[in-house]
A and B are shown apart, each in its own frame.
Chain A
């Protein structure tokens, strides 16, 4: 079993200020960054703040920036770094800092609440809901989202311009709108919301969100671009507009 000493450079501080602090830690074979953070807590800094829950890439709690790259700490193996490399761990940048590696992510929960709930149409005549697997798979891809908020964190619309936060829901919640739009049973119309309140127009499909997604969801290609297309065709296409008027669906 290979154990080796590693140097971790961890951000320590709160909203008022702080600094990176170096820790020399013994890392066992197979450890991930979160294990090393836990070792630091247990042996050197009992008050080092970080969020985590499942330690298996399923809950999306332990998001951080590792050597500047937004990652889940629980899914980043230490053996992906060079043996003598100092590994820098800092909090995700787009949200206000609570302390050390824990940030205030309440922005995301506010945006989630603004999306109208799922509203299914009537059931089949036999009282069932029938959907084909290929029809549910589009939305299922988006429902793999573990809400780690890494896509929100890297999206330059808010990362570099916090002033956009009130007018922009971020990739996670635009994808949620797309998910509901593509849900075979849903009847709510959220295209106005997507464009007017959630700020779909701000997105210029640079795919930063897709690149950092630990669930490998094709956020840009499968959610954001199709959502943009729907908004364009529904809102500006005169034929679609006329058809909707005639069918009475406003």
Chain B
């Protein structure tokens, strides 16, 4: 029902939705190009999920290993992504990330240093060389704070605690967005010539996740509903090391830096089991015995890398298998031990927030005892399909960057490649959006009736009498996705998940929220559930269609990779209210890049 309530209207050239690394970087670039830019934060500025990133930013700067360069980074990224990546995104990312990191330094970031005063780089899973620029284990905080402190002086209008719920269309092109202010519950419309989606991921649809409340798939859903394509939504990263106990903290991230800095995974029998899970694909570059793996920490030239640092999909599956075989810890995970190799001082210096987190939340002193860890839903590799160079979606005026976009990471993302993704493609999206605005002929027009109808929908949960509790639907959805669309999947369970999601959608139409409009989390959740259900359905549809195992998508009933499916994206579109899946070929990689992939130096 359309609303007659009055609402604020703001007008911009470029509207950036989402204020994590990608959104901030996009807004900075758009504003620098001279167009009127606004940045919308769902939370307060500086609290977006980027703040939780720990390990570092992957960039082949060659500060620690001069042998490193963009070609090696490109190869690592493609191999880590099981070749499902958009090759052009992977190339641009590897080429541009060093400049983007140095730019953060120009804006005030203070990275840890090498002995000769350059930005230090640390080891991470799947990266051939120590490549992650970092600040202890709080690199995401450094990135978001640097961008935030830079952005507030750049003439960008920052709108905090504003939740965007619908995009506005002028014919086939985007012309703005509507939503509400979280503190007051008042409605707001933004008229904009271009919109950049930078809203992050989907983790809150799963029960055990490292993601914050904001990761509800809003941007993916906004894009899908506006006519954009989604790709590879089935590729979800379960980070191998989340906290397990106490139950209330289950899922909170334990950074991969623990392993990068010397931590090893052990099962309940004390065995370093990762040696038993080295797949053919990574045999050439992975140590197959403890002696070589241990020597690798000191001498990377003459030893192969420890299997503890295989890409995340491999490690998560290995942990899952160990637990299933009865070699798990008391709380159903494995041990992560850094205290056997490193001194207490080293651990507190390199991993201060991990030390703090375990001490405060689990009464575990990681300088003296191992951590208990298990997989946690962490990241979606799939997302909105974009043009690699411009971050443009197929909808005119609509751009997407960061976790909301798909393609860059293929079927599995390497650690550290997310923060670099944000700044490389955030910048490209901001720039392309500004150029689009400048080339646009004529004004965009916003239909008031559409705005009122969209805003009216947002208020409907208040108007029902009696009904469903949004928190209960959320809990049921999380249980469903965790058990039926988790790390290991099978057709019958995926189909059951689809049926359950259909029921949740029905229940959502009966949600009644209590209380008023001001800062009402029950209402906010009721609205966010629409997005969570939408991305859950898309992931499940993609997971049914991809009848193979690849990266972050593992099928019990199709345990092997299928060469044919490795050359296609699963594309999801929504037309007349229904989602459909089609296979479409990956963009063809030019021969010179193919050669890079074959080289094994």
A interface, CB within 8 angstroms of B: 1, 14, 28-32, 35, 41-43, 45-61, 75, 77, 98-100, 102, 104-106, 109, 112-113, 116-118, 120, 128-133, 136, 139-140, 143-147, 180, 183, 186
Contacts and interface: CB of A to CB of B under 8 A. Distances in A.
A57 B357 contact: yes
A117 B149 contact: yes
Given A59-B47, A102-B519, A54 B52 contact: yes
A177 to B, nearest CB: 12
Given A30-B245, A59-B51, A47 B521 contact: yes
A41 B357 contact: no
A49 B106 contact: no
B469 A98 contact: no
B112 interface: yes
B256 to A, nearest CB: 16
Interface string B507-535: 00000011110111111000000000000
Interface string B109-144: 011110011100000000000000001101011100
Nearest to A35: B248
7 contacts: A30-B245, A42-B471, A48-B521, A58-B353, A120-B108, A131-B110, A136-B110
B107 interface: yes
B253 A61 contact: no
A143 B149 CA distance: 12
Contacts of A100: 519
A133 B350 CA distance: 13
Interface of B: 43-49, 51-52, 102, 105-108, 110-113, 116-118, 135-136, 138, 140-142, 145, 149-150, 152-153, 158, 160, 183, 212-214, 245-249, 252-253, 352-353, 356-357, 360-362, 469-472, 475, 513-516, 518-523
B521 A99 contact: no
B355 to A, nearest CB: 11
Contacts of B471: 41-43, 46
B117 A109 contact: no
A105 B47 CA distance: 13
A34 to B, nearest CB: 9
A43 to B, nearest CB: 8
Nearest to A134: B113
Contacts of A98: 183, 518-519
A53 B108 contact: no
Contacts of A41: 471, 521-522
Given A42-B469, A58-B138, A143-B141, 19 more contacts: A31-B248, A46-B471, A47-B515, A47-B522, A47-B523, A48-B521, A55-B249, A58-B140, A59-B47, A105-B44, A106-B160, A109-B158, A109-B160, A117-B150, A118-B107, A136-B110, A144-B138, A147-B46, A183-B110
Contacts of A133: 112-113
Given A130-B116, A143-B145, A61 B44 contact: yes
B338 to A, nearest CB: 19
A71 to B, nearest CB: 11
A183 B110 CA distance: 8
Contacts of B515: 46-47
B141 A146 contact: yes
Contacts of A47: 513-516, 520-523
A6 B150 CA distance: 45
Contacts of B117: 128, 130-132
B213 A56 contact: no
B118 A130 contact: yes
Contacts of B356: 57
A46 B513 contact: yes
B213 A52 contact: yes
B518 A132 contact: no
A123 B459 CA distance: 55
A142 to B, nearest CB: 10
A112 B118 contact: no
A50 B153 CA distance: 29
B469 A46 contact: yes
Contact of B43 (A1, A61, A99, A145): A61
A196 B113 CA distance: 35
Contacts of A54: 47, 49, 51-52, 212
Nearest to A46: B522
Contacts of B518: 14, 49, 98-99
A58 B44 contact: no
Which 9 residue pairs are nearest across A and B when measured between Cβ atoms? A30-B246, A47-B515, A46-B522, A130-B117, A118-B108, A42-B471, A49-B519, A53-B212, A99-B519
Contact of A113 (B48, B152, B353, B513): B152
Best-buried of A61, A105, A118, A139 by chain B (most CB within 10 Å): A118
Nearest to B112: A133
Nearest to B183: A98
B360 A57 contact: yes
Nearest to A48: B521
A143 to B, nearest CB: 6
A150 B246 CA distance: 26
Contact of B118 (A29, A48, A118, A128): A128
Nearest to B212: A53
B163 to A, nearest CB: 13
A101 B575 CA distance: 42
Contacts of B352: 144
B298 to A, nearest CB: 20
Contacts of A46: 469-471, 513-515, 520-522
